[in-house]
Amino acid sequence: MKFEISKSRITTFTAASLTDIVFLLLIFFLLSSSFVVQPGIKVQLPKATSAPVETKGKIYLTLTADGKIFLNEEQLNKNELGEAVHRRLQQGGDQVVVIKADKRLTLEKAIEVIDIVKLAGAERFVIATSPG
């Protein structure tokens, strides 16, 4: 048996491998751009595997490790907090207070702030956690 071997050069350009690379880059950039960092005050939230998701009106109360209190990005002290929360609760109907407390904050300080917010009229609370 005699086999013929052709020694002709390939003159066509196949763009299949180039297209694969472009699609892989596109997928990489789409996936990496979806990781959005939450702007605002930096706190280390405690981890929880079962974190509830609330979709109604929210009032964000952030407690930092050094004892600072923020109400939706506005820094307040304990004396101003009750009235500010009361005003926010009067604006909307069924609002949820989302507490974002740093994991290094003592429980006593967190309870003090929650008590102030309860006395201001808040009835629904959610404690924010990081997934995992």
**Is 66 contained in some domain?**
yes
**Is 17 contained in some domain?**
no
Q: What CATH number did the domain enclosing 123 receive?
A: 3.30.420.270
| pLDDT tens, residue by residue, 74-130 | 888 888 888 988 888 888 767 788 888 888 888 888 889 889 989 988 888 888 877
**Is 126 contained in some domain?**
yes
Q: Within a 13 Å sphere around the CA of 13, how many CA atoms are in the beta-carbon half? A: 3
| pLDDT tens, residue by residue, 42-81 | 666 666 666 555 445 688 888 988 888 998 888 888 888 8
**Is 31 contained in some domain?**
no
Please give the pLDDT value at position 25: 92
Count: domains in the chain: 1
- H helices present in the chain, as ranges: 16-33, 78-91, 107-119
Residue 84 to residue 123: CA distance in whole angstroms: 15
Q: Which structural domain range is residue 115 located in?
A: 47-131
Beta-sheet pairing, 95-101 with 57-63: parallel
Residue 95, both tokens: 């609002």
Tally Cβ neighbours within 10 Å of residue 96. Answer: 18
**Is 125 contained in some domain?**
yes
Q: Beta partners for 96?
A: 58
**Is 12 contained in some domain?**
no
Residue 113, both tokens: 């702030």
